[in-house]
Structure 1
Amino acid sequence: MNGFPNIILNFANACETTFEGSSLLHCPNIAADIKYCQSQGKVVILSMGGAAGSYGFSSDSQASQFADTTWNMFFKGTAAQRPFDDAVLDGIDLDIEGGGTSGYTAFISQLRSHFASDPGRQYYIAAAPQCPFPDAYLGSTLNSGWFDMVYVQFYNNYCGLNAYPTWFNFADWDNWAKTQSINKNVKVYIGAPGSPSAASSGYIDGSTLSTIFNAVRSKYTSLGGIMTWDHAYYNAVS
């Protein structure tokens, strides 16, 4: 979702059909894929934001209202147009790289209140901050909102994987997880480019990534795993 609160969706060539008389994508094939993946024990979440798009909130009130819209369109709520029909997603991921800093804590709070209305299902709130700490757009939200996992982008910055061990700053994120995060059990993932063309800088080969991962795992209990950007580029750890 690279546009909100006026919703714009972009799933590349995986979905290009829209509801009749609307510009909103309607993706029954992705809906079927979501259900299949969930039947195999996989969690499917919707990413919001990105490096390009038109998004952001002007106030907490607008953000809270949009949480209602998100619940109705992608989770257990009801809406006249649901991009994935009756498929129910497992959470959202905030990849906020522009558009201001306002409203995200209110958005998370309101969305979690909806999640609480469906206690039989596990829902997730994630974020994908840049590695410089604190993150320019989500820094305050990371300290005031509930997150289950954080996919730190260790690329395109001085603190990327290619700067290990000198400037690679997983220690800062581990300290945040243990001392500042609302959820003290939050997991921090190492975000890695899937190929040299997936990022401007930060790509390392699979063997080097494995070495760094094992070193981080031996020192930091907040480590959750590896995030790869993205599937289309994926070859770093295969």
Structure 2
Amino acid sequence: MAAAYSQSTKSLLLGAFSLLLAFSPLIRSSEACGISVYWGQNLAQEGSLRELCETGNYSYVNLAYLSTFGCGQKFALNFTDHCDAASGGCKSLSTELQACQNRGVKVLLSLGGNDTRYNQLCSAQDARNVADDLYNTFLSGSNSDGPLGDVSLDGIDLDIEYPGSVNYWDYLVEALASYRTPEKNVYLSASASCSYPDKDLGKAINTGLLNHVAVRFYDDNPQCYCSAGAERILQTWNGWSSSLPEGNQLFFGLLPNSNAGSQCTPEVFTTEILPVITSSPNYGGIMLRALYKDISTLYPAAACSNEALHRRQSLISVL
């Protein structure tokens, strides 16, 4: 039962709570933890990039998706109803992208998704050519004719889910990593199926050149589902953690929609899974498959600042 407080005391508590919310991004930023989120496939739920970054919850934004590339194909972005890249409409995102980066958010371009047009790279040389084109078009900051204008994105994310796309991703990663300099780091990440090793990206992950790997604990494998039990999920996590190349960080991939049948609720995740995975030496944070305004803010507070989350919950309980 909540304690009885005077109106003035409640006002003081609410004021303290507001300060805690205001400073929670600073608390999170001091820890070795980040939240990665995909943006570009649901205008109604996601809002604008500027709104997303202004929450202070996210360290990485993956622009989803570059859906066409490789085998001589011309690059094509698919941001659904956010903008039409084919007509040049996505250049309007440049100011929002720069606003995100000015807040310290790394913005990556995600390759793949569930589109079938990128089913594989045609050769090792094709992979190198794609890497060169990616750098010149999206990473160099010197191509005003590019579909996003002359912005300099921070890196590339691989979300390769189409069956049979196993070829040459390691060559792509190696070629992209070769562009790293003391002045500009090319950040590289991948979204992997929970089964180890990932059937498509295993070789790319084993290069050790990725900054982080986000394991999808929600896709079409029952051992990833919350119904399998926390113990089974943690066994899979520990397998990934012990096998990941040294220096790479491991993210726990979640669907932010708690109504999804395979998905753990925030309560189960934060009480049964999170306390264990955060003890892994290569724990890097969580990845949210999409941004849903209704509940997605429950995850960042938990994943990167357990102590702050508990203080917030305790404060709420007395009001």
TM-score using structure 2 length? 0.65
Per-residue deviation at 1:204? 1.6
* Structure 2 counterpart SS, 1:125: strand
Deviations along 1:97-128, one digit per CA (max 9) or x if unpaired, are 12521111111111112233xx2233211000
AA aligned opposite 2:108: I
Alignment match, 1:105: 170
8 Å CA contact retained: 1:125, 1:148: yes
AA aligned opposite 1:214: P
| Selected match of 2:154 from 74, 90, 93 | 90
8 Å CA contact retained: 2:112, 2:158: yes
Unpaired segments ≥5 residues, structure 1: 20-24
Matched residues in 2 for 1:70 and 1:234: separation? 34
Deviations along 1:176-214, one digit per CA (max 9) or x if unpaired, are 12xxx2xx11110000111046x5x43121121112112
Alignment match, 1:191: 253
Question: What is the 5 A alignment of 1:196-211?
Answer: 196=258, 201-211=261-271
| Selected match of 2:106 from 43, 60, 69 | 43
8 Å CA contact retained: 1:109, 1:145: no
- Note the aligned Cα RMSD (angstroms): 2.0
Change (3 A) 1:161 1:233: farther
8 Å CA contact retained: 2:94, 2:151: yes
* Structure 2 counterpart SS, 1:108: helix
Paired residues in the alignment total 223
Question: What is the 5 A alignment of 1:71-82?
Answer: 71-76=135-140, 78-79=142-143, 81-82=145-146
| Selected match of 1:59 from 111, 123, 147 | 123
The farther-off stretch of 147-156 and 158-167 is: 158-167
Unpaired segments ≥5 residues, structure 2: 1-65, 299-319
* Structure 2 counterpart SS, 1:84: coil
Per-residue deviation at 1:68? 0.6
* Structure 2 counterpart SS, 1:129: strand
Higher relative contact order (CA 8 A, sep 6+): 2
Per-residue deviation at 1:17? 4.6
Larger radius of gyration: 2
Alignment match, 1:216: 277
Post-superposition, which runs of at least 4 consecutive aligned residues in structure 1 deviate over 4 A? 77-80
Matched residues in 2 for 1:47 and 1:161: separation? 24
8 Å CA contact retained: 2:154, 2:185: yes
* Structure 1 counterpart SS, 2:230: coil
AA aligned opposite 1:208: V
* Structure 1 counterpart SS, 2:268: helix
Deviations along 1:1-33, one digit per CA (max 9) or x if unpaired, are 1111222211121112534xxxxx541222111
8 Å CA contact retained: 1:188, 1:223: yes
Matched residues in 1 for 2:250 and 2:105: separation? 19
Identity among equivalent positions (%) equals 28
8 Å CA contact retained: 2:67, 2:112: yes
More helix by share: 2
Alignment match, 1:10: 78
TM-score using structure 1 length? 0.86
Per-residue deviation at 1:91? 0.6
8 Å CA contact retained: 1:161, 1:204: yes
The farther-off stretch of 69-78 and 84-93 is: 69-78
